[in-house]
Structure 1
Amino acid sequence: MDKKAVSFLALGCLLGIILTSGAFSLSARPASAGGASAGQASGAASAGTKKVVLKLSHALDQAHPVHAAMEHMAKQLDRKSGGTVQLQIFPNGQLGSETESIEQVQRGALAMVKTSTAPLESFIPEMAIFGMPYLFRDEDHFWKVLLGDVGKELAAVGAKVGVRGLCYYDSGSRSFYTAKAPVMSPADLKGKKIRVMKSKTAMDLVSQLGAAPTPIAFGELYSALQQGMVDGAENNPPSLFTSRHFEVTKHYSLDEHTSIPDIILFSQTVWESLSPEVQRWVQEAADESAVFQREAWKKSTQESLDALKKAGVTIHRPDKEPFRKQVQPMYDRLEGTELGKLVKRIQEVK
């Protein structure tokens, strides 16, 4: 072999090493929102080893108890897999809003997202059921529904649009918080601009109560409240506290109109690329994180209410009956529909 051939051979080997190294680092590097590598089941697995990296997006602060549950999931997955499956968590909407992240999960560009079930109704119409006000009798009824046949069916129905539900997280009850005056009856909402999630059912609910529903991304809500673009919003106690929205809204009225769970969604495309063993590890870690999250949520809810009081927020407890009567037309409109049948199934759960 002449010197020229040897030189080309050496150059080819060097180029191969560089390309191989580059492929490994790119797959393990956090990607920007919307990037194709932002959450694929990738990592060293694509370079010929067994390591898998799964990326999970969510919109909440790292101090939120739901974030702690996802960290617990990551630890359990690492333990079960012996370090071969890594869960990378991207909080604060780093990879996009809930809706944007759901779309990335659909495409397989992102492996997982923690989202409220409310924005999911744009993708899975059946999820609108969770936005119906005063649907659950109490917390026990709520969990019997989610962990029973209805909850399992709803978690599975997303497969038709490219997502699969792994588990539900507690998201408590949503109540109104406002800047200038409390909400003690539906009359107090008349003419007010209230921020809602991007959900038709949530908008219908606020409209039925007499207010003007205003969809705004959660990450933009603080400034919207501060600048008076909206008069108030609605959410659970931990989210009100960790978002620091209490700094610009001093009235929290516990009407507890909806109990909308969160859900961990997994990309169907990415799921099918995993081995049965990795799928089992992921599901087990998710289930264990759900148990962890429920306990953490109970503790955090009471701590948040106490902290809100100390921060100068007045906690109000309005009579819920006028609110129930005001939203009854939402149920009347469902008579004879598939969602109406689902309401009856839920109400019949003992």
Structure 2
Amino acid sequence: MGRRLEGYSNGRMRLKLYPGGQLGSERDTLELATFGGIDLNRVALAPLNSIEPLTIVPSLPFLFDDEAHMRRAMDGAPGEDVLKSLAPHGLIGLCFYDSGARSIYNVSGPVRRPEDLNGLKVRVQSSDLYVSLIEALGANATPMPLGEIYQALVQGVIDGAENNWPSFESTRHYEVARYYSLTRHVIAPEVLVMSRTVWENLSSSDRDIILKSARESVSVMRGLWDEKVDQSRQTLAQSGVQVNEIDDIGAFVERVQPVWKRFVTSPAQRALVDAIRAMSTAA
């Protein structure tokens, strides 16, 4: 995206990156972006759930059939509706990036049925939706920062967590949690946002350049992401992690129906759900 920005603007615009939490947590950086302290922010949807109800929908459990369905929906009209919903909150939604399918890993054994989660302490993001999801499946949800999970697994503070292939591998959580069960319960994207304060001070031509550069970066990101997923799978296979499919995913889907009832409450949310489901592979 930075190279495109620089090229399209003849060198007037460039990106300076602050990776690895240098500017604080996602909630910290969202606040910075809202007030114009930083220009752009790549953030997960979970911190936005308490700000804008429409962002809850793409985070719903078992909403998407697969990653292809998610990409199709979020690149289309449903995704545009979510991006536009951020403007009243001081953010301009530019595009969606991938964050993979989230599955459950733990220290005890394979999860094949919801009953296998009974009593397990499972780390989740600090999100009411994720807490409700894990508890609906029978586990005890434990909100915790990502950086604390490894030690918590070692010390037995938690029994497991849930995340995508690359995160499970890159954090080295697999060294402790040797069972990875492919629940694929959430396939939520991440979103690239811009400070509305900064956006409104730009010319229309510069806004076009930023939006074009962001949208063109999506296919690059997805290519890199798919490569990383394959690499992570290979690393985990070589490490001896036990990976298993789910015996009856319908049992998991049934368990989370109360989560949908709790969090999908407005006509706008229901309309968004219907639009996304209409783009299902099976539709």
TM exceeds 0.5? yes
Moved over 6 A (4+): none
Corresponding residue number in structure 1 for 2:250: 321
Q: Does 1:246 align with 2:212?
A: no
1:344 to 232, 250, 274: 274
CA shift at 1:278, angstroms? 2.4
Corresponding residue number in structure 2 for 1:198: 126
Q: Distance in 2 between matches of 1:337 and 1:272?
A: 30
CA shift at 1:317, angstroms? 1.1
Aligned residues: 278
Corresponding residue number in structure 2 for 1:188: 116
Under a length normalisation based on structure 1, what TM-score does the superposition of the two structures give?
0.75
Contact 2:86 2:93 in 1 (8 A): yes
Secondary structure class of the residue paired with 2:86: helix
Distance 1:82 1:222, change over 3 A: farther
Distance 1:269 1:324, change over 3 A: same
Q: Does 1:174 align with 2:102?
A: yes
Using the TM superposition, name which of 281-290 and 263-272 deviates more.
Answer: 281-290
CA shift at 1:336, angstroms? 6.3
Per-residue CA shift, 1:15-43, capped at 9, x if unaligned? xxxxxxxxxxxxxxxxxxxxxxxxxxxxx
Q: Distance in 2 between matches of 1:252 and 1:155?
A: 33
Corresponding residue number in structure 1 for 2:71: 143
Q: Distance in 2 between matches of 1:76 and 1:249?
A: 41
CA shift at 1:131, angstroms? 2.0
Distance 1:264 1:316, change over 3 A: same
Corresponding residue number in structure 1 for 2:5: 77
Q: Distance in 2 between matches of 1:334 and 1:96?
A: 28
* Greater C-alpha radius of gyration: 1
CA shift at 1:253, angstroms? 0.6
Q: Distance in 2 between matches of 1:118 and 1:275?
A: 31
Secondary structure class of the residue paired with 2:24: coil
Secondary structure class of the residue paired with 1:86: coil
Across the aligned residues of Structure 1 and Structure 2, the Cα RMSD in angstroms comes to 1.7
Residue identity matched to 2:126: K
Q: Does 1:299 align with 2:227?
A: yes
Secondary structure class of the residue paired with 1:222: helix
Per-residue CA shift, 1:135-156, capped at 9, x if unaligned? 1123332222111211101011
Per-residue CA shift, 1:173-232, capped at 9, x if unaligned? 100011232222111211211111122111110010011111112223222223222211
What is the percent sequence identity of the aligned residues? 37
CA shift at 1:127, angstroms? 0.7
Q: Which runs of 5+ in 1 are unaligned?
A: 1-72
Corresponding residue number in structure 2 for 1:266: 194
Q: Which runs of 5+ in 2 are unaligned?
A: none
Contact 1:93 1:219 in 2 (8 A): no
Q: Does 1:154 align with 2:89?
A: no
Residue identity matched to 2:266: T
Higher relative contact order (CA 8 A, sep 6+): 2
Under a length normalisation based on structure 2, what TM-score does the superposition of the two structures give?
0.92
1:121 to 30, 49, 53: 49
Q: Distance in 2 between matches of 1:113 and 1:252?
A: 30
